[in-house]
Chain A
Amino acid sequence: MRGARLSTISRSSGSTPDADDRPASDRTSSGDELKLLAIGDVHLGTRPTSLPEDLEDWGVDPRALTPEAALRTTVDRAIDERVDAVLFAGDVVESTNARFEALRPLENAVRRFGEAGIPVLAVVGNHDVEALPRLAQRMEGLELLGERGRWQTRIVERGAAAVEILGWSFPDKSVRESPLVSLLRDPVPPARPGLPRIGLMHADLDASGGHYAPIKREELRASGADAWLLGHIHKPSLGESMSTSMSASASTASSESMPHGYLGSLVGLDPSETGCHGPWLVGVAASGRVSASQLPIAPLRWDRFDLRVGEDEGFEDLADRLLSEAERFARSIQDQGCFPRVLGLRPRLVGATRHFDALRKKIEGNDWRGRLNCSAGDTIVFIDRVDQALDLAFDLDELAQGDDPPAVLARRLLDLAREDDRRNRLIESTRRSLERFAEDPVWSPLRNRRDAPDPLDDDAIVDLLRRAGTDALSRLLHQRDQRNERERRSGAES
């Protein structure tokens, strides 16, 4: 067991201030760098979707790709890294499955952390607002920060090194106001002067409203913390601010370069959660400088890449190309240190083609879905779905010069690219014609989903029109080709 411990000092919002107004960079060093392991949304009790049915035939146990498995790996890594504390940024468990099935893996993890002497701090997210406090009461070694919506701090220290964790937990499933407002209004004084402070919360950054603690980036910056580790959004974004922070020189370091962002889901739960996922190793230097690097240990990774199709390239060879590109992609992420057990890819075909119809039919027929797979080292790579953003190998401007239907359609496609009234009218008329269908009660399960996107917002309609228009134009041109061919044959015969 290591010597890291949580201090007993605890300050809540509204307690006696012991303000340390110095910027973090000016704080004195307090010894060795502390290592924290920050974990974003785990959502225990769920499992990834869209996995191929025959995954086991490829030698992969689907259970090894679940959040539970990812957490297990994370615990192993935390113990290996000898971290000083583990931080959970909320939504540890899935709200709809927080009673039993999510309990076991969390208990195991906390128990193992406890056995390794690693303290565990967590804030409550909108998903585990009921479950996590209950679990924390039952589990020794799991401590919640900011319960009942009050800001709260804990000190993590090892030897001379220490950091103060400032946390806030969801008191209810819905929080429509920014929790940072109260923090800014009533700051939590530092436990010790000069201690670096890291904020930990579950919130909706830069949202204009909503039920999930909408906060603004300015509020984060104004909070005085040295870094903010956020939960809620599954796409990791801490790295972006870290790169900004890293690129900023010490002399110019300011709140602008404060590391902050989402830790992301521990493992991509569906194909939309692309990119690298995993816990973050957060280093806190005695100087107060916070560094963070993601540990790409998620067993499953989703990603996308574009595959440019040649103008005359048919679909016959595309399967091989897709697989070779998929393997190449897998190698590239491996080169970056990411070795998922399974890599699910959604390639998108781009480029101008003369075989639009054939490729479209192949893609719409889902002929490749889940059937193309290869391996790159120990990583199993499979093609989840092929998207297409193909263009026709025709000059739209030229096509639009005529007065036949292809010309009319080409003009409409060109209109889509312009921000003018014609585009808006086209969007509006399309919306009107699709509204009734989109509002059919049969689709209500989609509308009732949290964060359900509007299938008829402007961008969606433009995308639909662009794809459908390209498809329709391809069909028209095909008809024209057929007619020309008939006429050519007729002429040749006469």
Chain B
Amino acid sequence: MKLRRLEIRSMPGIDRAFTLDEMSDGLNVIWGPNGVGKSRICAATRALLWGEHGIAENALDANADFEHEGSPWQVMRQGSRHVWQRGGIEADPPGLPAEHLDGCFFLGLRDLLDDSAGAGGAVAREIRKQMSGGFDLEAIVSEFRAAVPPRIGRTESNAVRDAVKAIHRADREQGEAAAHEAELGTLESRAADAESARSRLRHYEAAIDLRVLKDEMEAFLAERAEMPDALGAMDGRELDRLESVEADLVRKESDQDSARSRLEEAERTARQTGLEEAIDPAVLSTWRERAEALVALEQNRDGVRVEERVAFAKLAERREALGARVPTEGASNVPDDASAQGHLALGVEDEFDLFQFLGESQQWVLEKKAAEEQLHLLAAHPFSEDEARRLDLARRALGPSRAWLRSSAYDASTSAGATPGPAPGRLIMIGSALAAIGAGAFWMDSAFAVGVGWAALVVMGMGFGVAGLGLLRGSHGAQDAAQPDPRALARRDWPVGIDGPDSWTVEAVIEYLRALEEEVASLEARKKRTEIREVESDRIEQKLKGLAKRTTDLEAKRRQLADRFGLEGLRSDVELVDLVRRLEAAHDAHTEHRGIVIRAEALDERWRAAVAALAEFLTGFGEAAPEDAHAARAGIHSLEERSRGVSDARGAAARERLSLERLAGEIDALEAARGDIFSGAGVDPSDRAGLARRVDALPRFRKLETSIAELVRGIGRNASRLEEVGEGALAAFDLNRLERERAALGRESDEGDEIRRQIVGIEQKVAALREGDSLESALADEQAALQAMHDRREQALLALAGATLIEGVRADHESDQMPRVLGRARDLFARFTHDGYRLEVAERDAGSFVAVDTRTGKGLRPDQLSDGTRAQLILAARLAFAEEVEQGSDLPLFLDEAMDHSDPERFHAIARSLARMVSDEGRQIFYLTNEPNDFEQFRRAFAEEGCAPPVTLDLARVRGEVEAPGRSEGLRVPPLPVVPAPAEGGDATDYGAVLGVPVLDPDRRADDQHLFHLLRDDLGLLYEFLVARIESVGQCRNQLDSGSDFARSLAERGEVGAGLGSRIDLLETFCEAWREGRGRRLERRALEASEAISDRYIDDLAEIAAELDGDAEALLRTIEDRGDARLRGFRKDSAANLKQYLRDEGYVDARSTLGESEMIDRTLATPAAHRLSAKLAAELVHQWWTLCQTRSLSG
């Protein structure tokens, strides 16, 4: 299928239609800067092929032309409409790969740079599935292995361990109980002995008691004999009593002294009062009340003084408002006549004059103002000349009008024989018409307001019509009259200057006449009123003249008052009013103040009288004369205190005299009691120490008396008890012996208690164990746990057996069924990497693909590869898979910057592979890039493959956006590395030096050796390989295995080419034989992998291994010698484990090394050598041996 034309009219990111056409059947390089829409082309093509594909249903409007199997196909998508046409006829879509496989045909950079281990996983799974004949063996293996989790059996193992622990616990408990049970006999015997000891112990204790009692009694009797007999009469409280009596004596004497002092104090106090006797309390009470009254009077007086100050302040304020001088606050004498004190000569008595003047002034003003207003009104409407002329004309028109009317009446009476005037019918019509007009006019005002004005107009029209008819009738009547026309006469007499009626009809004239008469009446009335106002005006003007004269009087009066009051002038009446008001307020304040002053003076008088009375009373008793109420009250209080003091002192003195008499008697009694105490104790009255000694000895005396009595009883009792139990002899033992033997018996008895407890404990324990089932239960648990473990292991083994079976089946099947896609992927990948890597499908759980390094044989997962190699790996797999799944549709490949991460060589290799896909398979390819020189690289690669050059489509230019830079001509592509060709007849060693070939290193795999070492004798062939970027033996082997054209052509390249594979095998055998007895080189990684070395030693061991050049045997010797301080403390078991690991993994090879002849023998015995000539094989081996020896010697 070839894409011929693609038109995108609109889609997200594309808002202007563009078309790509003139596409090549081969490679089309669509170039454009980022954002120009390259990826949109891929998306649109996907959507055209498979439907929506990430583009909203209505967001795409595009169509494409394809050529498929010789037929033109067109696919169109407009919104949800997706139509395929074949040859212009709507048809089903052509056979396309499944939609989910679209990723094989549209490869983006992101896909190829996926650095996860599972990159390409889907493809790998599909390949593996294909290799398994479509069966997902991996899934089945996974299912089986899922049944065997990593720590399987741990739970069951723990359960078993717990059960075993429980068994051990129970068993240990039972073992201990059994051991104790075995001791029961011995314990019972010891318990019996202890019981016997306990019995004798009591007898010994009684004997000891008896012994002790006897000894005690003897001592007591001796002590008592030495004590005085008087002790028997003492009660032991003598000293207490003596102390009490003496203390009382001291206290009484002290009281006596105190009473004397108090007596003296009372007498002194009485004297100090200055009073012989106390004053009558009633008298004192009276004077106290008078003092209190004086206090109230003082308070009242103070209050009045405060009022006076307030009134004075008010008076001062109001005087100040009058302009008078303000008296000093506190001045008691405020002058009654303010004029005498201030500059304002305004007295209270002037108030009337001021008010009178003010009234006159105001009256004059009002009268003048009223007269002026009246005069103004009278002059407002004079009777004008026009009005007079009009009145005249109107009067003159009255006559003709009336004459005309009269002639009209005459005419009517003569023609109709009736009284003059309008005919009744005509009058009715005119009246009706006027009514209609009037009603219409009246109605029209409101009718228009409510929207029916047309009706009013109709009514008015009808009125005018009827009026017309009436007037017509009147007209006919006038014409019909044959009498001389008096009306003409009337009209002839009509005054000039006034308009007549509108028409000379009776009605009009009547109307006119009425109006004229009204006008004449009005004008005449007005003329009359004007004449009256002129008279009145004259009168008022006279009055104003009179008022003007009064003005002079008033002004004179004003000046008089101003002079009188000392004012500069009384400019206005308003000022006068204000002055009068302030004067009145000052007058009120003065009156108020004066009243308060009088009250204060009265209070002062009363106060002075009261103070004088009190002073007289107090001074009579020696108190000071008071100056105020407080002093009076204090004097009264002082007098009260003195009266009370003299009274109290006299009473106290009497009491103390009585007390002194009583104390003297009590002291005598106490002296007598003291003498009795001494005499009772048998000591001298002055021998206080003797009395104390007697008292001290008394308790002991009494104790001896009691103890002796008890001992007598106890001795008798114990002696009897011992006799009763037959241990009377014990009474004769001394105390030491008794106690010694009792201690021994006590220990024995105490042990018996413990033994009995042990016996009971053991018996209880044994009984409990016999009835219990803890061990049986634990055993059952163990069995159950073991059974569970067994089941678990069986289950796991079953699953593992299943996995093993399936893996075996897969291996068998894969070995038999090499899938095309894998072969193709391998081929592509080998080409991309110049056989540097071989593609393998990863084993289970190891990701998707593995790139096996053909030099080292080491497999690398995608995440372990460089970006470029990984991209090549996945590209190869995808391309191969695309071929497999397209079902013959030969879909174009879209590579969206898919090779961006390839270095020039890899790019070149991939480009050549794509060229082969184009040329060999007719594959159409679109490569989308923003790198201008990609085109040139493609062009060069395609040229090398003999392919038609690629077509470049400048997308930016197609879309008309920017001018593209020059293509290949302006861009430089770095040249590929050039492999130097061997010189004609040149020496192989020299050529190897030019190439920089590394030395043969048989410690490494044969695949890792340079191809030079195989083809020294055919440098031309070597050159061809090198040009194809195949340098290592491994790459070469991979190429041979690939079955490529080049590989097949080798068979025709003489002995060397045909035997190349055998040479590789021979070299492999040589390397293996060389390594025999030498062991692998040991590196840190291997040490870590051994898991025998802890973190503590890994660094040191790696360091030592490096120092020993990776010689594992030497390392083991160093460890065994224990001479290296770095390995101090390295455990023996770790060393043993490491040794075992190094042997198992080939780092230590116990075999002996082979010599050259043995090497030759060994290699010549291989099938590879048989395929080569023996001579050649021997030469090759010798050559390699020599190289290795040289390397060994050179170190």
Partners in one complex: yes
Binding site for B on A (CB under 8 A): 45-50, 66, 94, 96-97, 99-101, 103-104, 270, 364, 403-406, 408-409, 412, 429-430, 433-434, 437-438, 440, 442-443, 445-446, 449, 455, 461, 464-465, 467-469, 471-472, 475-476, 479-480, 483
A442-B174 contact in complex given A49-B780, A429-B808, C-beta closer than 8 Å: no
B residues less than 8 Å from A440 (CB atoms): 153
B1058: Cβ under 8 A from any A Cβ: no
Q: Establish whether residues B784 and A461, one from each chain, have CB atoms under 8 Å apart when the complex forms.
A: no
Q: Considering only CB atoms, which chain A residue lies closest to B772 in the complex?
A: A101
| Identity of the chain A residue whose Cβ is nearest the Cβ of B152 in the assembled complex | A442
Residue pair A99, B177 in contact (C-beta under 8 Å): yes
- With A97-B779, A409-B805, A475-B143 as given contacts, are A468 and B137 in contact (CB-CB < 8 Å)? no
Contacts of A468 in B (CB 8 A): 144, 798-799, 801-802, 805
B132 lies within 8 A of chain A by Cβ:
yes
- CB contacts (< 8 Å) of B790 on chain A: these are 446
User: Once bound together, how far apart are the Cα atoms of A364 and B777, in whole Å?
Assistant: 28
CB-contact partner of A412 in B139, B164, B808, under 8 A: B808
When C-beta atoms are compared, the residue in chain B nearest to A487 turns out to be B134
Contact (A445, B177) CB under 8 Å given A96-B167, A97-B776, A408-B809: no
CB pairs A–B below 8 angstroms (22 shown): A46-B776, A46-B780, A47-B773, A49-B787, A99-B178, A100-B178, A405-B810, A409-B805, A412-B805, A433-B804, A438-B793, A445-B157, A445-B786, A464-B798, A465-B801, A467-B801, A468-B144, A471-B802, A472-B806, A475-B143, A476-B135, A483-B134
Q: What distance in Å separates the Cβ of B795 from its nearest Cβ neighbour in chain A?
A: 7
Interface residue? B392 (CB, 8 A) = no
**Apart from the given pairs A100-B770, A479-B135, 18 other A-B contacts in the complex at a CB distance below 8 Å:** A45-B776, A96-B167, A100-B177, A101-B174, A101-B775, A270-B783, A405-B132, A405-B806, A405-B813, A429-B804, A430-B805, A434-B800, A437-B796, A446-B790, A455-B793, A467-B798, A472-B140, A480-B134
The 10 closest A-B pairs by CB, nearest first: A468-B802, A100-B769, A468-B801, A404-B133, A442-B153, A464-B801, A49-B783, A445-B160, A433-B804, A408-B809
Report how far A103 CA is from B174 CA in the complex, Å.
12
- Residue ID in chain A nearest B164 by CB atoms: A445
A100-B769, A405-B137, A409-B806 are contacts. A443–B801 as well, Cβ < 8 Å? no
Return chain A residues, CB-CB under 8 Å to B153: 440, 442-443
A131 to B848 Cα, complex, angstroms = 65
* Cα distance, A100 to B177, chains bound together (Å): 9
Residue of B167, B801, B817 with highest tally of chain A CB at under 10 A:
B801
**B797 neighbours in A (Cβ, 8 Å):** 434, 437-438, 455, 464
**CB-defined contacts of B132 to chain A, threshold 8 Å:** 405
B771 contacts A by Cβ under 8 Å:
yes
Please give the distance in Å from A420's CB to the nearest CB on chain B.
Answer: 17
Partner of A101, one of B140, B144, B776, B784: B776
Assuming A46-B780, A101-B770, A404-B813, is B802 touching A469 (CB within 8 A)?
Answer: yes
Most buried by A among B171, B770, B805: B805
Chain B, range 136-161, C-beta contacts under 8 Å to A: 136-137, 139-140, 143-144, 148, 152-154, 157, 160-161
B769 touches A101 (CB 8 A): yes
Whose C-beta in chain A lies nearest to the C-beta of B153?
A: A442
A475 to B143, CA, bound (A): 10
Assembled-state Cα–Cα distance A187/B685 (Å): 123
The complex places the Cα of A46 from the Cα of B779 at a distance, in Å, of 7
CB distance from A451 to the nearest CB of B (A): 12
Q: Which residues of A contact B795 (CB under 8 A)?
A: 364
Task: Evaluate contact between B812 and A408: CB separation under 8 angstroms.
Answer: yes
A489 CA to B805 CA in the complex, in Å? Answer: 32
A95 CB to closest chain B CB, in angstroms? 10
- B154: which A residues are within 8 A, CB to CB? 442
| Residue of B whose beta carbon sits closest to that of A44 | B776
Which of B779, B789, B801 interacts with A45 by CB under 8 Å? Answer: B779
A402 and chain B: residue at smallest CB distance: B133
Say whether, besides A101-B770, A467-B798, A468-B799, A476 and B779 are in contact (CB < 8 Å): no
How far does the Cβ of A225 sit from chain B's closest Cβ, in whole Å?
35
CB distance from B1127 to the nearest CB of A (A): 29
Q: How far is the CB of A427 from chain B (nearest CB, A)?
A: 11
Q: A490 — nearest CB in chain B belongs to which residue?
A: B98
Given contacts A408-B812, A412-B808, contact A100 B174 (CB under 8 A): yes
Interface residues of B in 163-210 (CB under 8 A from A): 164, 167, 171, 174-175, 177-178
A437 CB contacts on chain B under 8 angstroms: 148, 796-797, 800
Q: Is there contact, CB below 8 Å, between B766 and A270?
A: no
CB distance from A44 to the nearest CB of B (A): 9
Collect the chain B residues with CB atoms within 8 Å of residue A66's CB: 776
Residue of B nearest to A426 (CB): B808
Docked Cα-Cα span, A24 to B799, in Å, equals 56
Q: In the complex, are the beta carbons of A434 and B793 less than 8 A apart? A: no
Chain A nearest CB, measured from B55 CB (Å): 24
- Give the nearest-CB partner of A432 in chain B: B804
Given A443-B153, A455-B793, A469-B802, does the pair A405, B133 have CB atoms closer than 8 Å? yes
Measured between beta carbons, the chain B residues less than 8 angstroms from A99 are 174-175, 177-178, 769
- B103 → chain A closest CB, angstroms: 20
In the complex, the answer to whether B799 meets A446 with C-beta atoms within 8 Å is: no
Interface residues of B in 1090-1110 (CB under 8 A from A): none
What's the least CB distance linking B120 to chain A, in Å?
Answer: 23
Cβ contact within 8 Å between B805 and A465: yes
B786 touches A446 (CB 8 A): yes
Task: Say whether B350 faces chain A, with CB atoms less than 8 Å apart.
Answer: no
Report how far A279 CA is from B771 CA in the complex, Å.
Answer: 25
Q: Which residue of B lies closest to A403 (CB)?
A: B816
Interface readout for B972-1010 with A: 1 if CB under 8 Å, 0 if not?
000000000000000000000000000000000000000
A430 to B797, CA, bound (A): 10
Please report which residues of chain B, range 390-411, place their CB below 8 angstroms from some CB of chain A when the two chains form the complex: none
Decide if B794 is an interface residue (CB 8 Å cutoff): yes
Judge whether A405 and B789 touch: CB under 8 Å: no
Q: Which residues of B contact A445 (CB under 8 A)?
A: 157, 160-161, 164, 785-786, 789
Q: Is the CB of A475 within 8 A of B140?
A: yes
A349 to chain B, nearest CB (A): 16
Among B770, B785, B797, max chain A CB count under 10 A is at B797
Asked whether, in the complex, the Cβ of B167 is within 8 Å of the Cβ of A100, the reply is: no
CB–CB A472/B783 < 8 A: no
How many whole Å from A426's CB to the nearest CB in chain B? Answer: 8
Q: Hey, which chain A residues are within 8 Å of B787, CB to CB?
A: 49-50, 270
> Which residues from chain B contact A49 at a C-beta distance below 8 Å?
780, 783-784, 787
Contacts of A364 in B (CB 8 A): 795
Chain B residue contacts of A442, Cβ below 8 A = 152-154, 157
Name the B residues within 8 Å of A433 (CB-CB).
Answer: 800, 804
Answer whether A405 and B775 are a contact pair too, CB < 8 Å, given A437-B800, A475-B140. no
CB distance from A342 to the nearest CB of B (A): 15
Most buried by B among A100, A406, A472: A100
Bound CA span A45–B776, Å: 5
Query: In the complex the two chains form, what is the Cα distance from A446 to B783 in whole Å?
Result: 10
Q: How far is the CA of A408 from the CA of B772 in the complex (A)?
A: 59
Report B-chain residues with C-beta under 8 Å of the C-beta of A461.
Answer: 801
CA distance A306 to B243 in the complex (A): 118
Partner of A443 from the list B789, B799, B812 (CB cut-off 8 Å) is B789
Give the complex CA separation of A99 and B174 in angstroms. Answer: 7
A472 and B805 form a contact (CB under 8 A): yes
Q: How far does the alpha carbon of A46 sit from the alpha carbon of B784 in the complex, in Å?
A: 12
A453 to chain B: closest CB distance in Å?
9
A475 to B177, CA, bound (A): 59
By a CB distance below 8 angstroms, the chain B residues around A403 are: 133, 813, 816-817
CB distance from B262 to the nearest CB of A (A): 100
Minimum CB–CB distance for B248 against chain A, Å? 87
B179 to chain A, nearest CB (A): 10
With the chains together, A480 CA to B134 CA distance in Å?
Answer: 8
Smallest CB separation, B819 vs chain A (Å): 13
A104 touching B770 in the complex, CB below 8 Å, given contacts A99-B177, A364-B795, A438-B793: yes
